């Protein structure tokens, strides 16, 4: 009987403690929440790529510029701020893959000003507020889903290795010192599909865990570690995704901030910790279960969209894309102009050293000084028509194949009669492609 009373008394104490509302927030906490709510909320809504991920597979059929329509709408205002405040022409370039354009940096400045002013006004008119527990729950959930969507987007781009594709054939012909730091990073990661796919798998796992409230904290921790590495790489290799990766890192920290004391107890102080859980959106268990199901369904929807997009990219321009019939590197054995052989002098700007067929609709030729020139081209089984950058005809050549590894080109280049004899280069002669993996190495192999 005494034992039953004791158990009942303990249960009453637990229930009474659970019913006690949390204490009021400190002034600093309320101000920090207001600023984060405004700044990161606006960032997620205006940095179009973040919301674009939520379209899932439908995004494949949206207009090309739909991924940045918010920035395009704000373009005139951003251009004005750039000119009047910073004295720069902050023009958005839709055809650029850079996320660190001057216009986007100016947009971040505008967001910062709006968030700072909004925080000041909000603090003034709502200074009596005790806390923002319910609004915080919705905001953190929104922020978590935005970060999770980006983890899936970039994760699948690596899991299906298209973000950093295999080094192109032309890269095998260039000197290491000619590459930019970003190109070095891209080629390094793209040289090992297993490594790139592992990086992608970690990001995908983090995103999947973040879409489930029960595992969201674990996913955020995993995503934080991943984004810290990505941001460091972007900063040290000058990759133009610093704004987005930096904000994803900061948003991960914001998501973990409410759990800081519990995580410190668990991982640092090694003492008992309260359960690490996500804030509840509703007041009933049934409603919260439905909300959790909706988040999981949204995650599945984005997974399908990202997987489909990455698979299409793999077959469009990745390793699974169709290769031209003459695919490979062809070394020039003989080069004749006006019926006269031209010796292979490095000072000759007209003679070719190699010809590369890698992408449909283009041909790359290498001059004797090593310069690689890309030229738009129409290539068929028996003719090649190459164009200058302005559209003028560069070359009209007839193609013949004396053998599988030999090629004869005859016709005109810049209006002059020309004949070229070429031999296909064995791609496995390059160390980057033939070295492979070795369990046993008596000495390190650096060549």
Give percent of the chain above pLDDT 90.
78
Q: Does one domain contain both 310 and 347?
A: no
Q: How confident is the model over 249-266, as a mean pLDDT?
A: 94
Does the residue 9 lie in any domain? Answer: no
Integer Cα distance of 51 and 38 in angstroms: 16
Q: How confident is the model at residue 10 (pLDDT cuts 50, 70, 90)?
A: very low
Q: Does one domain contain both 215 and 345?
A: no
Q: What is the pTM of this model?
A: 0.89
Integer Cα distance of 27 and 31 in angstroms: 6
Q: Look at residue 226 and tell me whether its pLDDT is greater than 90.
A: yes
Q: How confident is the model over 88-114, as a mean pLDDT?
A: 93
* 289, 296 contact by CB (below 8 A): no
Does the residue 47 lie in any domain? Answer: yes
In order of 32, 231, 411, the CA distances from 240 in angstroms are 29, 10, 43
Domain boundary (251, 286, 316) is at 316
3-class secondary structure, 405: coil
Q: Does one domain contain both 274 and 380?
A: no
Q: Could you list the residue range(s) of the whole structural domain that residue 288 is in? A: 24-316
Integer Cα distance of 278 and 215 in angstroms: 9
Does the residue 391 lie in any domain? Answer: yes
Q: How confident is the model at residue 109 (pLDDT cuts 50, 70, 90)?
A: very high
Domain boundary (258, 281, 316) is at 316
Residue owning tokens 């009453």: 12
Structure tokens at 383: 């003719």
DSSP annotation of 54 reads G
| Average pLDDT over all residues of the chain | 91
Does the residue 105 lie in any domain? Answer: yes
Q: Does one domain contain both 306 and 375?
A: no
Q: Does one domain contain both 160 and 220?
A: yes
As for how many domains the chain has, the answer is 2
Does the residue 435 lie in any domain? Answer: no
Does the residue 178 lie in any domain? Answer: yes
User: Beta-carbon neighbour count of residue 174 at 10 Å?
Assistant: 17
Q: Does one domain contain both 129 and 163?
A: yes
We report the CATH number of the domain holding residue 368 as 2.40.128.20
Does the residue 444 lie in any domain? Answer: no
Q: Look at residue 288 and tell me whether its pLDDT is greater than 60.
A: yes
- Nearest-CA neighbor of 136 among 220, 22, 225? 22
Structure tokens at 336: 């004749």
In order of 29, 52, 66, 98, 225, the CA distances from 239 in angstroms are 34, 22, 23, 9, 18
Q: Does one domain contain both 69 and 112?
A: yes
* 137, 281 contact by CB (below 8 A): yes
Q: Does one domain contain both 109 and 222?
A: yes
Does the residue 322 lie in any domain? Answer: no
The string of DSSP codes covering 91-156 is ---TT---S--HHHHHHHHHHHHHHHHHHHHHHHHTTT----HHHHHHHHHHHHHHHHHHHHHHHH
User: Beta-carbon neighbour count of residue 427 at 10 Å?
Assistant: 14
Domain boundary (316, 340, 368) is at 316
Q: Does one domain contain both 373 and 308?
A: no
Q: How confident is the model over 98-118, as a mean pLDDT?
A: 96
Q: Does one domain contain both 334 and 256?
A: no
pLDDT at 19: 36
pLDDT at 22: 63
Structure tokens at 408: 């004869």
For residue range 382-439, list pLDDT tens digits in order: 999 999 988 899 999 999 999 999 999 999 999 999 999 999 999 999 999 998 889 9
How buried is residue 381: exposed, middle or buried, by Cβ count under 10 Å (0-12/13-18/19+)? Answer: exposed
Q: Does one domain contain both 155 and 218?
A: yes
Q: Does one domain contain both 265 and 118?
A: yes
């Amino acid at each position: 009987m005494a034992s039953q009373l004791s158990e009942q008394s303990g249960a009453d104490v637990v229930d009474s403690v659970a019913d006690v509302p949390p204490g009021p927030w400190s002034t600093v906490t309320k101000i920090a929440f207001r600023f984060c709510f405004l700044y990161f909320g606006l960032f997620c809504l205006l940095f179009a790529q973040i919301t674009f991920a939520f379209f899932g597979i439908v995004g494949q059929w949206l207009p090309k510029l739909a991924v940045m329509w918010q920035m395009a709408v704000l373009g005139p205002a951003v251009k004005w701020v750039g000119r009047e405040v910073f004295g720069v022409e902050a023009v958005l370039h839709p055809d650029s893959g850079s996320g660190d354009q001057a216009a986007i940096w100016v947009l971040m400045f505008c967001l910062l000003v709006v968030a700072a002013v909004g925080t000041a006004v909000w603090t003034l008119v709502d200074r009596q507020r005790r806390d923002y527990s319910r609004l915080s729950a919705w905001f953190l959930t929104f922020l978590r889903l935005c970060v999770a969507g980006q983890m899936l987007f970039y994760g699948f781009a690596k899991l299906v290795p298209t973000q950093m594709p295999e080094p192109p054939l032309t890269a095998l012909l260039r000197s290491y010192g000619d590459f930019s730091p970003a190109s070095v990073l891209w080629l390094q990661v793209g040289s090992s599909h297993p490594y790139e796919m592992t990086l992608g798998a970690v990001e995908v796992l983090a995103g999947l865990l973040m879409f489930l409230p029960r595992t969201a904290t674990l996913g955020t921790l995993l995503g934080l570690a991943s984004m810290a590495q990505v941001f460091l790489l972007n900063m040290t290799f000058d990759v133009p995704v610093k704004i987005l990766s930096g904000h994803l890192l900061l948003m991960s920290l914001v998501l973990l901030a409410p759990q800081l004391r519990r995580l410190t107890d668990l991982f640092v102080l090694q003492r008992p910790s309260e359960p690490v859980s996500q804030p509840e959106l509703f007041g009933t268990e049934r409603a919260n279960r439905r909300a959790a199901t909706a988040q999981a369904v949204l995650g599945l929807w984005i997974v399908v969209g990202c997987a489909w997009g990455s698979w299409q990219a793999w077959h469009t321009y990745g390793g699974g894309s169709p290769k031209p019939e003459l695919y490979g590197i062809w070394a020039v054995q003989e080069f004749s102009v006006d019926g006269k052989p031209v010796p292979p002098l490095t000072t000759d700007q007209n003679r070719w050293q190699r010809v590369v067929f890698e992408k449909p609709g283009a041909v790359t030729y290498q001059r004797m000084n090593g310069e690689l020139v890309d030229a738009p081209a129409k290539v068929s089984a028996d003719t090649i028509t190459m164009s200058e950058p302005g559209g003028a005809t560069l070359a009209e050549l007839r193609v013949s194949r004396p053998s599988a590894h030999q090629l004869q080109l005859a016709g005109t280049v810049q209006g002059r009669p020309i004949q070229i004899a070429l031999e296909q280069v064995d791609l496995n002669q390059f160390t980057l492609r033939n070295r492979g993996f070795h369990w046993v190495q008596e000495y390190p192999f650096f060549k």
